[in-house]
Amino acid sequence: MGYRIVVAGATGNVGREMLNILAERQFPVDEIAAVASSRSQGEVIDFGDSGKTLKVQNIENFDPTGWDIALFAIGSEATKLHAPRFAAAGCTVIDNSSLYRMDPDVPLIVPEVNPEAIAGYVKRNIIANPNCSTAQMVVALKPLHDFAKIKRVVVATYQSVSGAGKAGMDELFEQSRNIFVGDSAEAKTFTKQIAFNVIPHIDSFLEDGSTKEEWKMVVETKKILDPKIKVTATCVRVPVFVGHSEAINIEFENEISAAQAKRILREAPGIMLVDKHEDGGYVTPVECVGDYATFISRVREDSTVDNGLSLWCVSDNLRKGAALNAVQIAELLGRRHLKKAA
Ligand SMILES: NC(=O)c1ccc[n+]([C@@H]2O[C@H](COP(=O)([O-])OP(=O)(O)OC[C@H]3O[C@@H](n4cnc5c(N)ncnc54)[C@H](OP(=O)(O)O)[C@@H]3O)[C@@H](O)[C@H]2O)c1
């Protein structure tokens, strides 16, 4: 016996990937509903490669009573309106927006890192999915932290435009085409031209000069992994369609060599180590698209600090950074907490 699943935001980048991944992983689904805004009501979309199609329903008219799990990817504003209604009707919400991530009564889960924290979902019947940059980083940090205890992390991100939804992908495509034919490159979704450029600004600015995206990496890493870890981040948007990259520098309390780190990472869940000291012996974002893994390359010792390591981390932001992590949470919830067997 399977579950009755709702995918909210099914017409978006993350929603579409959630449908693909539910089908790929043969999640035990008895019934599935695709919901979005009134704009896409009646549209017909694929349930991954299952051969089934789904008619999109308007979330405003959708009654969640009797549905088991809702995977939400509709942005914070719409989530605020609908998640409490779904949760109160007994349908557990797994949310991709930032709305509930730092709520002490909502667990923030990366299944490879803090699966035990999921038990806290009963307080609000809501589980939060972390920010895409945080998700892949904590997968990489967790096994190293277990071995040598991380003191401080310095990270610079290279984030793809799909992190800003369909509109971000369209803007990179249109600007690139316009520039080639000599037209102007108007910026709408991003604050400056993104084609053939990089922008050191994601989300809004905070009083201390950092951005909300950078703040999310700091506070979410503490909530998921360890409140004692210090994190400083610089988040940058780059003209890549899908796949976030991160240059991560880590300072540990205890000794750890690059060789030890590689051995640990090779065995760690969710990680694929690709690290050859030769041309092309590392992973780039175009190679991670459509994959489940968090790829690690360029692991090396940093001799400028005691017990320091640097590494390169790449993952599909629509998958581990959002849809895959949400489906893994649903699998964990099914195994540990819901009555039907997942
Ligand atoms: N992209 C990423 O890497 C990433 C990573 C982590 C988390 N997230 C989060 O996931 C969410 C979705 O991101 P995305 O990249 O999939 O965006 P997107 O491609 O722009 O898609 C947005 C989806 O939300 C739906 N939606 C918008 N307003 C709605 C409303 N008022 N009521 C119901 N549905 C509404 C849209 O439906 P219509 O088609 O009907 O407009 C569409 O299905 C956001 O909260 C984002 O922060 C994204």
Q: 31-76: per-residue pLDDT in tens? A: 999 999 999 999 999 999 999 999 999 999 999 999 999 999 999 9
Q: From the CB of 58, is ligand 1 less than 6 Å away?
A: no
What value does the mean pLDDT of the chain take? 97
Closest CA to ligand 1's atom 47 = 97
Half-sphere exposure of 331 (CA within 13 A, CB side): 16
CB contact at 8 A, 74 and 95: no
Q: Residue 41's closest CA among 78, 11, 14?
A: 11
**Residue 313 appears among annotated catalytic residues:** no
Percent of the chain with pLDDT over 90: 96
**Residue 244 appears among annotated catalytic residues:** yes
Closest CA to ligand 1's atom 36 = 9
**Which residue in 132, 235, 288, 313 is the catalytic one?**
132
In this predicted structure, the answer to whether residue 187 has a pLDDT above a threshold of 90 is yes
- For residues 144 and 184, give the distance between their C-alpha atoms in angstroms, rounded to a whole number: 47
Q: Which residues contact 287 (CB under 8 A, 6 or more apart)?
A: 295, 314
* Structure confidence by residue, pLDDT tens digits, 150-160: 999 999 999 99
* Structure confidence by residue, pLDDT tens digits, 197-240: 999 999 999 999 999 999 999 999 999 999 999 999 999 999 99
Mutate to test the pocket of ligand 1, among 60, 96, 134 (most ligand atoms within 8 A of CB): 96
What number of H helices and E strands is found in the chain? 8, 14
**Which residue in 145, 235, 244, 288 is the catalytic one?**
244
Q: From the CB of 160, is ligand 1 less than 6 Å away?
A: no
In this predicted structure, the answer to whether residue 296 has a pLDDT above a threshold of 50 is yes
Q: From the CB of 34, is ligand 1 less than 6 Å away?
A: no
> Which amino acid is it at 257?
S
Q: From the CB of 96, is ligand 1 less than 6 Å away?
A: yes
The Å distance, Cα 14 to ligand 1 centre, comes to 7
pLDDT of 219:
98
According to DSSP, the β-strands at 230-237 and 150-159 are parallel
* Structure confidence by residue, pLDDT tens digits, 72-123: 999 999 999 999 999 999 999 999 999 999 999 999 999 999 999 999 999 9
Q: From the CB of 240, is ligand 1 less than 6 Å away?
A: no
Closest CA to ligand 1's atom 22 = 12
pTM of this structure: 0.96
Q: From the CB of 318, is ligand 1 less than 6 Å away?
A: yes
